[in-house]
Amino acid sequence: MTELLFRDDAYLKTATARVVAVQDGVVELDRTIFYPLGGGQPGDTGFLIRDNGDRIAIADTRKSESPGSVAHRLAAGAESPQVGEAVAIEIDWPRRYALMRLHTALHVMSCVVIAPVTGGNIAPDKARLDFDIDMTLLDADRIAHGTNELIARAVATESVWITDEELDARPELVKTMSVQPPRGVGRIRLLSIPGIDLQPCGGTHVANIAEIGAIRVTRIRNEGRRNKRVEIVLAG
Ligand SMILES: [Zn+2]
């Protein structure tokens, strides 16, 4: 099991950790600030830093095959740390912070376009949601304006934990049909943007939606009968 430090504090840029396993170019640590790919948010990149100052590049982060563990993938040609070694860990913060801002922006936008979400993806420079909706109901200016009006409320976000049973009793919370919340661990994490949005999400978010700034809608495209895609970028 890897202790997921980003769960309690998404703003950790550095930490210390101990190497618990190294195999096939993958490093597992006892604790991590690296977010593993999931829920449409890519895995973090960054460095493990050895006592002698050597920087070991991490090219990607995924959920490990062993449940509850995180796999830090070494960049091609990177040296391997030793099991038991203490290392400093550092994520590519500008990249992660852009992902956090765009990820949180998608939560807000999902409250402007009222339709089931059939897909989504976040990259450092753009993000998108797919909706099961009639194309004629999607207007780029209206979506951008509505989203930016909500962002301007400058609301603080919070994590809320509920049980599987509580979620079953409130199926309306699950907007994203393609990404079901993880089951079986007893508790499910919700992201709350009070007065705007509440939905299961294990990703990393900004502490206050004002940090998003504003968004622009760059593209609306028909990607299939149930996938009308709205793509956004940060405006500043
Ligand atoms: Zn989220």
**How far, in Å, CA of 77 to CA of 32, rounded?**
22
**How far, in Å, CA of 67 to CA of 11, rounded?**
24
Q: C-alpha dihedral over 157, 163, 164, 167, to 10 degrees?
A: -50
**How far, in Å, CA of 174 to CA of 167, rounded?**
8
pTM across the whole model: 0.94
Q: With contact defined as beta carbons under 8 Å apart, do 55 and 20 qualify?
A: no
Distance 59 CA to ligand 1 centre (A): 23
What's the average model confidence in pLDDT over 9-37? Answer: 97
Distance 105 CA to ligand 1 centre (A): 9
Q: Which DSSP state fits 64? A: -
Distance 155 CA to ligand 1 centre (A): 15
Q: Strands, DSSP E only, in 110-157? A: 117-122, 127-131
The string of pLDDT tens digits covering residues 127-173 is 999 999 999 999 999 999 999 999 999 999 999 998 888 888 888 77
Distance 7 CA to ligand 1 centre (A): 12
Distance 199 CA to ligand 1 centre (A): 8
For the chain, what percent of residues have pLDDT higher than 70?
96
Q: C-alpha dihedral over 166, 168, 172, 174, to 10 degrees?
A: 100
Whole-angstrom CA distances from 64 to 2, 73, 76, 194, 210 are 10, 10, 19, 33, 34
Distance 80 CA to ligand 1 centre (A): 33
Closest CA to 131 of 203, 221, 37, 233: 221
Distance 236 CA to ligand 1 centre (A): 21
pLDDT band at 119; cut points 50, 70, 90: very high
Q: What count of other Cβ atoms lies within 10 Å of the Cβ of residue 90?
A: 18
Distance 147 CA to ligand 1 centre (A): 16
Per-residue confidence (pLDDT) for residue 178, from 0 to 100: 56
The string of pLDDT tens digits covering residues 75-104 is 999 999 999 999 999 999 999 999 999 999
